[in-house]
């Protein structure tokens, strides 16, 4: 069995999808935020791979086709954006102010905490682009001299946390407007957060997709400024 797992291109992905489906079923059945299908799938897959001694590279032989779909799917985020274009235009000021203040808050929070905990310059700039989409974040981290591998890991963790706790955080701060919820998800938790925003509604999803692009670009500009502070 273990030997089969170590050579199979389908076993790992199948486990990922089955555990995702079970997670989705549990969430529907119990409606409890902790049963996040994405989190359950990641945890179950890692446990199975480690237990059967399968390397990530073997798993990725099959799983890379899931990742391959990410670019065309991100391109498709333009569709809800187009469908909600009127709404977006009417609220342009709120959208820009929301995303801009979110990006600055992200950079300031990382700066203050890094300063308090005495992080090195390298570790600090590694974390600066943590709230934005992986591809832009990697570029920023590399440019500033950070550890790109850690940046990628932190970006993924940020996205998953946003996906799991986003609804709770919106409730906590009394964020009820669909536009604002979407902006919060996209600015704080990029595409993984957007996947969640899409489930909440079309307006949330569209605003969240928009935030990924806008937040990414604003971060590219301001991360350089913040990088000089530590």
Partner 1 sequence: MKYLKQFLIILAVSLIGEILKDVLPLPIPASIYGMVIMFVCLLTGIIKLNQVRETGKFLIEIMPVMFIPAGVGLMSSWDVLKPVLIPVSIITVITIFTVMGVTGIISQTIIRSSGKETGHDRVYAK
Which residues inside 74-113 make contact with partner 1, applying CB under 8 A? 74-85, 87, 90-91, 93-95, 97-99, 101-102, 105-106, 109-110, 113
CA dihedral sign, ordered 113, 119, 125, 131: negative
Q: How far apart are CA 105 and CA 171, in angstroms?
A: 19
Residues comprising the chain, all counted? 230
Residue 18 found at the interface with partner 1 (CB under 8 A):
no
- The residue among 8 and 74 lying less far from partner 1, judged by its C-beta, is 74
Residues 208-227 that bind partner 1 (CB under 8 A): 209, 211-213, 216-217, 220
Q: C-beta of 69: minimal distance to partner 1 in Å?
A: 5
Residue 180's nearest CA partner among 164, 162, 197, 163 is 197
Residue 50 found at the interface with partner 1 (CB under 8 A):
yes
Among 5, 11, 140, 227, binds partner 1 (CB under 8 A): 140
Residues 150-179 that bind partner 1 (CB under 8 A): 150, 152-154, 156-163, 165-166, 169-170, 172-179
- The residue among 213 and 227 lying less far from partner 1, judged by its C-beta, is 213
How would you class 22 by CB atoms within 10 Å of its CB: exposed for 0-12, middle for 13-18, buried for 19 or more? middle
Residue bearing tokens 């993984």: 192
Among 22, 119, 222, 224, binds partner 1 (CB under 8 A): 119
Q: How far apart are CA 105 and CA 116, in angstroms?
A: 16
CA of 112: how far to CAs of 106, 120, 134, in Å? Answer: 10, 13, 23
Residues 177-196 that bind partner 1 (CB under 8 A): 177-181, 183-185, 187-189, 191-192, 194-196
Question: Please, are residues 122 and 146 in contact by the beta-carbon 8 Å criterion?
Answer: yes
Q: C-beta of 30: minimal distance to partner 1 in Å?
A: 18
Q: How far apart are CA 177 and CA 167, in angstroms?
A: 12
Q: C-beta of 145: minimal distance to partner 1 in Å?
A: 14
Residue 30 found at the interface with partner 1 (CB under 8 A):
no
Question: Please, are residues 52 and 1 in contact by the beta-carbon 8 Å criterion?
Answer: yes
Residue 58 found at the interface with partner 1 (CB under 8 A):
no
């Amino acid at each position: 069995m273990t030997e089969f797992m170590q050579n199979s291109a389908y076993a790992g992905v199948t486990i990922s999808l089955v555990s995702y489906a079970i997670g989705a079923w549990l969430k529907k059945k119990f409606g409890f935020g902790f049963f996040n299908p994405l989190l359950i799938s990641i945890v179950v897959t890692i446990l199975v791979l480690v237990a059967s001694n399968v390397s990530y590279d073997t798993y990725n032989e099959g799983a890379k086709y899931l990742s391959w779909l990410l670019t065309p799917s991100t391109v498709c985020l333009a569709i809800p954006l187009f469908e909600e274009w009127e709404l977006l235009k009417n609220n342009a000021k709120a959208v820009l102010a929301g995303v801009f203040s979110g990006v600055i808050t992200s950079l300031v929070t990382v700066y203050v905490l890094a300063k308090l905990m005495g992080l090195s310059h390298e570790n600090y700039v590694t974390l600066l682009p943590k709230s934005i989409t992986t591809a832009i974040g990697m570029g920023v981290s590399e440019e500033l001299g950070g550890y790109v591998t850690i940046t990628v890991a932190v970006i993924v963790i940020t996205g998953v946390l946003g996906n799991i706790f986003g609804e709770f955080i919106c409730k906590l701060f009394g964020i009820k407007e669909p536009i604002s919820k979407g902006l919060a998800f996209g600015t704080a938790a990029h595409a993984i957060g957007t996947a969640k925003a899409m489930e909440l509604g079309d307006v949330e999803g569209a605003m969240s997709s928009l935030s990924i692009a806008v937040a990414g670009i604003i971060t590219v500009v301001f991360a350089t400024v913040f990088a000089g502070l530590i």
